[in-house]
Chains A and B, each alone.
Chain A
Amino acid sequence: MRMIDELIAATPTFAGLEPAHLELLAGCGRNEHVAAGELLMREGEAADRFFLIRRGLVALEVDAPGRGAMQIQTLHEGEVVGWSWLFAPFRWAVDGRAVESCGLIAFDGACLRGKCEDDHELGYQLMRRFAAVVIDRLQGTRLQLLDLYGRAPASA
């Protein structure tokens, strides 16, 4: 069975981290399983954790009155779920729900924030990597906003 630090190192987000930092990260993580439909995080609640998906699909949702939970993005194997633990005010901005049964590594974000304060190189590495995640999702969101498959101006 692979250790948590090996699993972390194999993901695009954390590939290339120094062994000491991988060990620190792994020390704050533990394996979890969630059933389909289970909430990982809820909008407005304290964001003191984040997740790495080992298996399965997680949906980010916004509850819209009259429409129910609207899925705005899904995250899959190898991706991180949640960055609100790293940025004030440390509150979830969306719900996160397992679309199917998921295997996850859950990290103690509050613990990691303390370690980042103590070790700014670790803090820089995590900031850099989570910024890349934010940028990737922002680019996707920009394209979604274009509504490319919506009704185009009438021509022919």
Chain B
Amino acid sequence: MVPAPFDVLAKRQDTEDTWTLELQPRSGEPFEFAPGQFTMLSAGGAGEVPMSISGDPDEPQRLVHTVHSLGLATQAVCEAEPGQVLSVRGPFGRPWPLEAIEGADVVIAAGGLGLPPVRPAILRMLAHRERYGRLVLLYSARSPEQVLFPDELTAWSERGLEVLVTVDSAGPEWRGHVGVVTRLIRPAKLETGILVAMSCGPEVMMRFVLAALADDGVRSDRMYVSMERNMQCGIGLCGHCQLGPKLLCRDGPVCRWSEIAPWLSVREL
């Protein structure tokens, strides 16, 4: 697939090293995507990087990415200013199964930079709030300063998303939870029999939070994760993102936990 030029329309700094960029396709065509999908994004000659889409799927005239400046490619993207052009391929991958889980209570467990990839799913579910039971977000961050989208978290809670936030450590001014995300499960008082879980964040975090939910009675075929691997081609050809029998750029990034969990316990993969 040939990269398409996108203009940087706006840029906002979320934390010390994370920026949200709004892009617009130069073609003028809307950029349709499903929540959970990703693009291959690049700035100049710094290389391509797989990036989850963090924007609203019902606003396809804007492509929104929240990017952590970590290496050469992401640093170049984060340094792009309004008026500059970025290259985009996609969208790629399997999305969150939002239609299949209608009617269920949904808990979303997100950690750190795992919040942007679930943001489109949250926006879509809130836009169709009546189609779901309880919607609960368990979100953990490193510190209060690293909490992403704080204003939106408040706005989402006013629209019917129960938001519980925890941080790894905090100063005395913090009035919320401190500790790992698994410790939010009990205060959330989830009814696990009718629950679907979606998780995105560091793999260790997802493993522990889903194990805790399974201990509480959530079936592993009702749990979904967004996986991160070395995606390169985006269309299941190059094999760089292989995990067991799956090519995660094509068969993921969203996977059913029951299908992916056995492969994550193989340490050599």
Chain A complexes with chain B:
yes
**Given A147-B142, A155-B71, also A140-B179 (CB < 8 A):** yes
CB-CB nearest in chain A for B187: A76
B74 CB-CB contact with A under 8 Å = yes
A154 CB-CB contact with B under 8 Å = yes
A37 to chain B: closest CB distance in Å? 9
**Complex contacts, B186 vs chain A, CB 8 Å:** 12, 76, 78
CB-CB nearest in chain A for B176: A74
A3 CB-CB contact with B under 8 Å = no
B113 CB-CB contact with A under 8 Å = yes
**Given A150-B142, A155-B71, A156-B70, also A140-B183 (CB < 8 A):** yes
B81 CB-CB contact with A under 8 Å = no
B205 touches A71 (CB 8 A): no
CB-CB nearest in chain A for B172: A69
A70 touches B179 (CB 8 A): no
Interface residues of A in 45-71 (CB under 8 A from B): 57, 59, 61, 67-71
B49 CB-CB contact with A under 8 Å = yes
A156 to chain B: closest CB distance in Å? 4
B58 CB-CB contact with A under 8 Å = no
**Complex contacts, B17 vs chain A, CB 8 Å:** 151
CB-CB nearest in chain A for B167: A71
**Complex contacts, A61 vs chain B, CB 8 Å:** 172
**Complex contacts, A68 vs chain B, CB 8 Å:** 171-172
A144 touches B179 (CB 8 A): yes
CB-CB nearest in chain B for A146: B204
B179 touches A149 (CB 8 A): no
**Given A71-B170, A143-B208, A144-B169, also A156-B47 (CB < 8 A):** yes
**Complex contacts, A147 vs chain B, CB 8 Å:** 142, 168
B196 CB-CB contact with A under 8 Å = no
A156 to B202, CA, bound (A): 16
Tell me what chain A mostly uses at the interface: helix, strand, loop, or mixed. Answer: loop
Pick from B111, B172, B175: contact of A148, CB below 8 A. Answer: B111
CB-CB nearest in chain A for B41: A156
B172 touches A140 (CB 8 A): no
Interface residues of A in 119-156 (CB under 8 A from B): 139-140, 143-144, 146-152, 154-156
A100 CB-CB contact with B under 8 Å = yes
B169 touches A149 (CB 8 A): no
CB-CB nearest in chain B for A145: B168
**Complex contacts, B213 vs chain A, CB 8 Å:** none
B140 CB-CB contact with A under 8 Å = yes
B180 CB-CB contact with A under 8 Å = yes
A152 to B202, CA, bound (A): 10
A120 to chain B: closest CB distance in Å? 30
**Complex contacts, B71 vs chain A, CB 8 Å:** 154-156
B9 CB-CB contact with A under 8 Å = no
- For A21-61 the 0/1 string (1 means CB < 8 A from B) is 00000000000000000000000000000000000010101
Interface residues of B in 165-194 (CB under 8 A from A): 166, 168-172, 174-180, 182-183, 186-187
Interface residues of B (CB under 8 A from A): 17, 47, 49-50, 70-74, 111-113, 140-142, 146, 166, 168-172, 174-180, 182-183, 186-187, 201-202, 204-205, 208
List 4 A-B pairs, minimum CB-CB distance, nearest first.
A149-B112, A149-B142, A156-B49, A154-B71
Known: A76-B186, A77-B187, A143-B208; 10 extra A-B contacts, CB below 8 A, are: A70-B169, A71-B169, A71-B171, A78-B186, A99-B175, A148-B201, A148-B205, A149-B201, A156-B70, A156-B72
